[in-house]
A and B are shown apart, each in its own frame.
Chain A
Amino acid sequence: MTRVAVVVFPGTNCEHDTVHAFRSLGADAELVWHRQDTLDGFDAVVLPGGFAHGDYLRTGAIARLAPVMGPVAGMARAGRPVLGICNGFQILCEAGLLPGALIANSGLAFLCRWVEVEVISDRSVLTSLARPGQVLRIPLNSYEGNYVDPSLSGRVVMRYVDTPNGSQGGAAAVTNLDGNVVGVMPHPERGSDELLGSADGLILLEGFLASARVGAGV
């Protein structure tokens, strides 16, 4: 069974949704406290949403120093699937595992609503089962979701149909060159059941698990 670590920092608040969504897809998803310094036995790791360390200093700035981030970087280097959702995306950027950074939304509003995102590329662990051009409806829930990447080295794998937050290139999800580390600002786990209003996020989580099963990026 595919084993997915879901990391919990002080202030993380989407960990149970994330575990539930992955378990509903047949994976063995487990919570891992941020002070743990090993991820041995896990095939993939997810940094879920929330407000790690209260977003003090900058979003993700303190979280990226946690002991668990060493093994997270190790999995990234080894080509294993690494996913950051919302606050997790911010942490991956602060950790240097993804290029760029996330700043306040251009309209300075905390955006909590459904958005449509278009899949641009299937060459990432998150979008591996999705079709380029496919439009997915999933919830956005963030204040600092405005992606900036002066280096232009991040590969956008999903973009907003109608960018609500000023994100560069409309980026909703960004990957590294190898496609195994992905940051996504909207929450696929919150759109993983028709009961929640949409199950469009499932194809993303299924793609992530499929990548974890083959044990490498795409």
Chain B
Amino acid sequence: MKARIEIVRRPEIADPEGITVVRALHDLGFGEVTSARFDRVISLEVEGMSTEAVTARVEDMCRQLLANPVLEDFRVVIDP
């Protein structure tokens, strides 16, 4: 199965890269942009029988390694 993990920086944590890109977009004339956030996507290929079991394992991977609980939230989407 394919597991798509979206790792999103918490709203209250600053994203210096996003802030810089908003400024650059404004310089280019895209003044309508009010926010940019650099989220990350990790795609895994995982062996497993059930979507539920794979989801639980991948969520555990996020908690233990792939996401930083101080900074980030995550969402796991399984493509069987």
Q: Give A contacts to B, CB under 8 Å.
A: 57-58, 61, 65, 93-94, 99-101, 103-108, 146, 148-151, 166
Contact = CB atoms under 8 A, between A and B. Distances in A.
A100 B70 contact: yes
B14 interface: yes
Instruction: Tell me what chain A mostly uses at the interface: helix, strand, loop, or mixed.
Output: loop
B70 A148 contact: yes
A85 to B, nearest CB: 20
Interface string B7-35: 00010111011011000000000000000
Given A57-B65, A100-B70, A101-B70, A148 B16 contact: no
B66 interface: yes
A94 B12 contact: no
B56 interface: no
A103 B27 CA distance: 25
Nearest to A59: B68
Chain B contact-residue range equals 10 to 19
A16 B66 CA distance: 31
A99 to B, nearest CB: 8
A105 B68 contact: no
A61 B70 contact: no
A94 B16 CA distance: 20
B44 interface: no
B77 interface: no
Contacts of A93: 70
Contacts of A100: 70
A150 B65 contact: no
A64 B68 CA distance: 12
Contacts of B20: 108
A89 to B, nearest CB: 14
A99 B19 CA distance: 25
A150 B16 contact: no
A101 B16 contact: no
Nearest to B10: A150
17 contacts: A57-B66, A58-B68, A61-B65, A61-B68, A94-B68, A101-B71, A103-B13, A103-B14, A103-B71, A108-B17, A146-B16, A148-B13, A148-B14, A150-B10, A150-B12, A166-B14, A166-B16
A106 B16 contact: yes
